[in-house]
Structure 1
């Protein structure tokens, strides 16, 4: 059986109880380049010129305005437009800032990502995503219907499950609207610096979330990732007794193996030992 793994910090032990996992908006992930393609210089300049032309073009006059009123309205508009253009010219990155701000806002409002990995034995990921080995790592059966719902055969347009492509070059914004293939490429391309994670992504619309929790800082969109998709459970070498107890109960219920990580005697690799349940 081929597994994919989700590292979880101690506070997310709740998954062992309620089967809910957060699908995270791109801006809340730890890579600032998440889902943001590069804006080609030519396209940026063309957009800049178009924007200036649009700003300098007065709006249509309201019906019933006299000739003098129209002239005064045009004069006021052009004076304000020139001021805006001056401010834009003072900031050459205006277009890219505007593009990225708008793109992030649209994505964060609509898209959530569940980051998974093909490996359970990364010391870095146990440190970063499982709170220095005090959390857990859940292994899922990648052939379960939950992960297959977005494949070409089932064609669920609201769900994608794809491996991440690692590249030395960022994706580029095309001159026209992104098609489905290009959009998926943007969502699933990362720098080669992250290659050690061997990431695969489940991507869903936040509107399909099982449960939404609004906090002062952020919105949590939780999805039901069925417990029967679990193939194995691994708890960290520093995991609490409470986590071990919850993991044992679920592993026993599902008849899946439970492991605890341990330090290798001969290398820096993370090893694991089967726990009797």
Structure 2
């Protein structure tokens, strides 16, 4: 029998969505100096609930309804793949045997045609398509898109990275105004993959419009931000609370940390204003825990609006 569910992503398990292109070999995490010990010394990175990120509209309604023409067509295609002539013949012969009906299958098919004016395959297809329409038509009545998205945003947690280490606004906003560091991660490491070796990293899509239905664009529905944030060039990996290793309760806020293997670190880049004390502290950590990792410094070249990366 055909795999009739192959084209139907599980919308209720967004932690494992697969709708991104493969990630680049290295992704970068900008951070302030105060995070160096947690990340490099203790091998812990912070995961944040989607409803608690610094984007007030991180969780927003990017689609008007769950079910529309695209989902209906996908479901009808899945039904067609399932109810093949061979599958129908096998199931019908089994039912006939259970009831002690000893008739040639061709004769039974002809009886159906005479009774209903169509083949048994067409009859079942028609009935199932009608059921699909009724089922999908009630999806929005069970839970509205707004309720669904808020629920997902409250459950799902993300660790965000950037495609580039040389974004001036990222150094200013997340890198302590150029006094912090950027940790480069090797995306080919198993920590970023599922049990089948497929990357769990998802690229953020930037858009402001709203789609008609969920399956118009799954990436827009579950892994997107407004175009105001496009400068971040963000990728992220999602997780659930069960995979969090440590939670720090600050009263008004909770910091959720998850450990990562040291081998996932590729290199470390220091900001132009990183203090000498931080430089030596990071150098010491790399010697002890990441001897393979390069220590580099990003120096702005003002006349060409670019950074020069130097190994130190």
- Which TM-score band (shorter chain)? 0.5 to 0.7
Match of 2:42 in 1: 18
Match of 1:36 in 2: 60
Is the deviation greater in 124-133 or in 9-18?
A: 9-18
Per the normalisation by structure 1, the TM-score is 0.66
What CA distance in whole angstroms lies between the structure 2 residues aligned with 1:171 and 1:206? Answer: 30
Query: Which of 158, 168, 173 is 1:128 aligned to?
Result: 173
Residue 23 of structure 1: SS of its match in structure 2? strand
Runs of 5+ unmatched residues, structure 1 = 44-97
Match of 1:167 in 2: 207
Q: Is the 8 A contact 1:35 1:186 kept in 2?
A: no
Greater Cα radius of gyration, structure 1 or 2: 2
What CA distance in whole angstroms lies between the structure 1 residues aligned with 2:302 and 2:205? Answer: 34
Residue 4 of structure 1: SS of its match in structure 2? strand
Match of 2:187 in 1: 142
**Alignment of structure 1 residues 1-277 onto 2, 5 Å:** 2-14=25-37, 15-38=39-62, 40=64, 103-104=149-150, 106-149=151-194, 153-154=196-197, 160-171=200-211, 174=214, 182=218, 185-253=220-288, 254=290, 255-275=292-312
Cα offsets for 1:116-174 (capped at 9, x unmatched): 01100000000001110111100011100011227xx347xxx9421112224245664
Residue 169 of structure 1: SS of its match in structure 2? coil
What CA distance in whole angstroms lies between the structure 2 residues aligned with 1:103 and 1:241? Answer: 45
Q: Is the 8 A contact 1:117 1:198 kept in 2?
A: yes
Q: Is the 8 A contact 2:246 2:257 kept in 1?
A: yes
How far 1:206 moved relative to its partner? 2.0
What CA distance in whole angstroms lies between the structure 2 residues aligned with 1:172 and 1:240? Answer: 51
What CA distance in whole angstroms lies between the structure 1 residues aligned with 2:147 and 2:252? Answer: 18
How far 1:112 moved relative to its partner? 1.0
Cα offsets for 1:166-213 (capped at 9, x unmatched): 224245664xxx9xx84x643311223322222111110022101111
Cα offsets for 1:232-274 (capped at 9, x unmatched): 1001111123321232123334221111121204222233221
What CA distance in whole angstroms lies between the structure 2 residues aligned with 1:100 and 1:30? Answer: 20
Cα offsets for 1:34-72 (capped at 9, x unmatched): 13224639x9xxxxxxxxxxxxxxxxxxxxxxxxxxxxx
Per the normalisation by structure 2, the TM-score is 0.59
Structure 1 residues 246 and 149: CA distance shift in structure 2, 3 A: farther
Runs of 5+ unmatched residues, structure 2 = 1-23, 68-143
Query: What is the aligned-residue RMSD (CA, Å)?
Result: 2.8
